[in-house]
A and B are shown apart, each in its own frame.
Chain A
Amino acid sequence: QQQVKQSPQSLIVQKGGISIINCAYENTAFDYFPWYQQFPGKGPALLIAIRPDVSEKKEGRFTISFNKSAKQFSLHIMDSQPGDSATYFCAASIRGRDDKIIFGKGTRLHILP
């Protein structure tokens, strides 16, 4: 119930292509869905986040698509660049309750130059 399942585990995309990472959850009480980006040797950093009352949020080349009925959400990286190569984590939380963010296992993304 508390899990966030993320796929794929690793992903290789050509420069300029679209990178897509998918996540699914079970707990319908989750009301906040952030994505984190982690570069080697660094801690994860908040990239973009969405609430379930919207179906899509876009920030630059990064877009979250959210399907509340399917309990799924995904990250799309348009025009992927080598600098986007990193590990990406989806996450979920119940804001104002226990304030814990539950993370997916991560996707290691590599963009070919």
Chain B
Amino acid sequence: DAGVIQSPRHEVTEMGQEVTLRCKPISGHDYLFWYRQTMMRGLELLIYFNNNVPIDDSGMPEDRFSAKMPNASFSTLKIQPSEPRDSAVYFCASSSDPRRQLSYGYTFGSGTRLTVV
């Protein structure tokens, strides 16, 4: 398996523009997570899905952020309009049901570095 695939790797956009980040989870994984990483706040969970259904979006900072998972192999995180304070590395991660595993963990993608100028 190629692992969790995120695109683009880098995105530079102007304030006010719409940004869409993409993620392809590992085939067969039931859970998908979106995280944001900054120096100040570390890894913040934004939202997660189970079987394509959003379970907890309490970490989404504002209404400008939205996430979808139309099928088991694709998810998007959209920011509209983007602001400079949204600059961060955004990670997607996936996992299978923890109750089926002895050693439970997430598999992270390589992230998208977003810069809003």
Contacts and interface: CB of A to CB of B under 8 A. Distances in A.
Interface of A: 32, 34, 36, 41-46, 49, 89, 93, 95-96, 98-106
A43 B109 contact: yes
Given A43-B93, A44-B43, 13 more contacts: A34-B105, A42-B110, A43-B4, A43-B110, A43-B111, A44-B108, A46-B107, A89-B42, A93-B104, A95-B98, A99-B31, A99-B50, A102-B45
A99 B106 CA distance: 11
A41 B91 CA distance: 11
A44 B93 CA distance: 9
Contact of A99 (B91, B98, B109): B98
A49 B105 contact: yes
Q: Categorize the interface residue count of chain B.
A: 20 to 34
B108 A45 contact: yes
B42 A104 contact: yes
A75 to B, nearest CB: 15
Contacts, number: 59
Instruction: List 3 A-B pairs, minimum CB-CB distance, nearest first.
Output: A43-B108, A46-B105, A105-B42
B57 interface: no
Interface of B: 4, 31, 41-43, 45, 48, 50, 55-56, 91, 93, 95, 98-99, 103-111
Q: Point out which of A45, A89, A100, A106 has the most chain B C-beta atoms below 10 A from its C-beta.
A: A100
A103 B108 contact: no
B15 to A, nearest CB: 25
Contacts of B103: 46, 49
Contact of A103 (B42, B55, B98, B111): B42
